[in-house]
Structure 1
Amino acid sequence: MRALLVVNPAATTTSARTRDVLLHALASEMKLEAVTTEYRGHARDLARQATESGNVDLVVALGGDGTVNEVVNGLLHTGPDPERLPGLAVVPGGSTNVFARALGLPNDAVEATGAILDALREGSERMVGLGLTSGTPGTEDESVPSRWFTFNAGLGFDAGVVGRVEQQREQGKKSTHALYVRQVVRQFLGEQHRRHGTITLEQPGEDPVTDLVVAIVSNTSPWTYLGNRPMYTSPKASFDKGLDVLGLSRLSSAAVARYGTQLLTSSPERGPHGKHAAALHDLSEFTLHSKVPLPLQMDGDHLGLRTSVTFTGVRRALRVIV
């Protein structure tokens, strides 16, 4: 088997020594080329080159969710084709590793590598569904390039939090769960539309859902982790189905306290709910429109401001070793 290992040297939970051990373990089972990323988007470029070469059977992403997202977008640059494209394996090296954990992999890089090697020996793999975003025709965002996400995307409040965290990290702050909590508070205090949302969700043949402050889109569950605690916005979301959406139409102090408590106590059976919460399940395609530009995030990566984004749930998009 010919494999490409894409290594993010800035992965927050792996040391250079650990990465060296993992490299040797993988190289003992396959013909391996390892490349270290040097700039934002490099992992995407490497995965794209691997698919175009036709000489790579497997791409292994060693890093956090951002690295995985880049690799997936490189693999699927010309669209899904599981029979032709290399498979994907993920070694978690970030602070949260939602995609890897949603696949059932250990959150420890060494243990996850062992699980991947076992899966390769046994020929164990699965097809997963992903989300695809694109610009909406007839809007100012129609020319925005399409982009895949592996576990969630968000327009509005949660994307604003992600943007604040990225600003803090650019200033040298370490990515921790405490940092995220602080930015949630700051985003709440600075949110102009928390009582009267600007987002409308439209899908073919259905009444629109209006006045949302935030829309969180998921193609798996949980939505994220706070330490080792899973948090479920859309408990029914699955790699085997379309997209799920949780929309909140109010983020007053009382609403934040209520939904925050529900998130912390959420489970695979029950997520946030109430008068100002809208939950939609297994959607194939829909569009989020906003009256004002709002921040957009995908897989924890802030992508700037948008007024309109079209989402498509693509089943069996990618072959993953697990």
Structure 2
Amino acid sequence: MTSTRQDAAISLSVLERPTRKRRMLVIVNPFATTVSARLRNLVVHALESRYDVTAVDTEAQGHATAICRDAAAEGYDVVCAFGGDGTVNEAANGLAGTSTPLAVLPGGSANVFCRSLGVPGDVVDATEHLLRLADTLPVRTVDLGQANGRYFVFTAGVGLDAEVTERVDAHPRWKARFGPWYYATVAVDLFTRRYLLGRPPRMRIALADGRQQEAITCIAQNSDPYTFFARRPVRVCADAALDSGTLAFAALDRIGPLEVPSLAARLLTGSARAVSRHRRITDLGAATCAVVESLDGRPLPLQVDGDYLGRCERVELRAQPAALRCVA
């Protein structure tokens, strides 16, 4: 979309002003993939036609969480996260357990949670969507997951996907320029070096119901899908839902070179059932919690919502039912 079209579309989205404007705090990540100063100002100006808006730019990791905690304490009617999935994750961590709802505007490369809520993936359409909701402000209560105490809105991963996230986050310019293709390139490289030809991490997944599974990667989903490859949804866990009260789990036990093409093809079908039928994928179903522990003493890489959190020998993954209120 050109800047001229964005100007015109957002300007046209300014609707008749309501009698009382709701207080909205807009948290903007100025470093998000598709966010620019000009687009930020256009979006904020449009929202000001229907909301009493205060806009704040994030300055460092964790800043959005602190801002959201303050906003909930100050009684804002709604907090809007304008950025990528990392910004949404930080905002959710600040608003979890409070009565202040979270709205989202897409500003990243994937915007998984935004699309999972049914919010348009285009920022102009998403802004117009928020303007239409100004009078009623419909709220949906959704579950969150927790990984060692850190909330996540759509997924957590231990193993390969966390290592991919670590590598991608180290090269933000390539991530912004090539998007899902850069993720795919990094995934293939790491998979080949570490998981096929190298020494992958070994872990044991222990579910709340007593089941156990050894693996080299564990995926936990709080919502569907797991992620997107451009516009194509990638689904791994069949039982994932935002209001189930549980997390859905899947494990990759091991894999050989000849099995990689078939697994990649199944991931791109958009069918979790197809993925779960792969001989190296174990669909562990839904559970309220699981503990993932290293079997060889090496710390395990961990990511939540596309943010790399580091390495630890033990990861506790737990569902937090009805923990977040969202405008959708």
Fold shared by both chains (TM-score > 0.5): yes
Deviation string 1:249-268 (CA, Å, 9 cap, x unpaired) is: 01321232221111011326
Deviation at 1:288, TM superposition (A): 0.8
SS at match of 1:191: helix
Deviation string 1:154-199 (CA, Å, 9 cap, x unpaired) is: 0001111111111222789745112111101211122157787611
- Higher helix fraction: Structure 1 or Structure 2? 2
| Superposition pairs of residues 77-226 of structure 1, within 5 angstroms | 80-81=97-98, 85-134=99-148, 146-169=149-172, 174=177, 176-191=179-194, 198-210=202-214, 212-226=215-229
Aligned twin of 1:59: 79
Deviation at 1:282, TM superposition (A): 2.4
Tell me, yes or no, if structure 1 residue 6 matches structure 2 residue 10.
Answer: no
Aligned twin of 1:310: 316
Length-normalised TM-score, structure 1:
0.88
Provide closer, same or farther for how the CA distance between residues 302 and 170 of structure 1 changes in structure 2, counting only shifts above 3 A.
Answer: farther
Which one of 252, 257, 267 corresponds to residue 253 of structure 1? 257
Aligned twin of 1:137: none
Task: Check the 8 A contact 1:14/1:109 in 2, yes or no.
Answer: no
Which one of 25, 37, 60 corresponds to residue 39 of structure 1? 60
Provide closer, same or farther for how the CA distance between residues 123 and 57 of structure 1 changes in structure 2, counting only shifts above 3 A.
Answer: closer
Deviation string 1:209-253 (CA, Å, 9 cap, x unpaired) is: 12x011111011111111111111113310011100110101321
Q: Which runs of 5+ in 2 are unaligned?
A: 1-21
Task: Check the 8 A contact 2:275/2:281 in 1, yes or no.
Answer: no
Deviation string 1:281-307 (CA, Å, 9 cap, x unpaired) is: 221111111122121100000111111
Task: Check the 8 A contact 1:153/1:296 in 2, yes or no.
Answer: yes
Task: Check the 8 A contact 2:276/2:282 in 1, yes or no.
Answer: no
Q: Which runs of 5+ in 1 are unaligned?
A: 135-145
Deviation at 1:39, TM superposition (A): 1.4
Q: Which amino acid aligns with 2:250?
A: L
SS at match of 2:33: coil
SS at match of 1:72: helix
Sequence identity (%): 36
Aligned twin of 2:15: none
Aligned twin of 1:49: 70
Which one of 245, 264, 267 corresponds to residue 263 of structure 1? 267
CA distance in 1, matches of 2:320, 2:291: 15
CA distance in 1, matches of 2:91, 2:313: 27
| Superposition pairs of residues 296-307 of structure 1, within 5 angstroms | 296-307=302-313
Aligned twin of 2:279: 275
Length-normalised TM-score, structure 2:
0.87
Deviation at 1:94, TM superposition (A): 0.4
Aligned twin of 1:230: 233
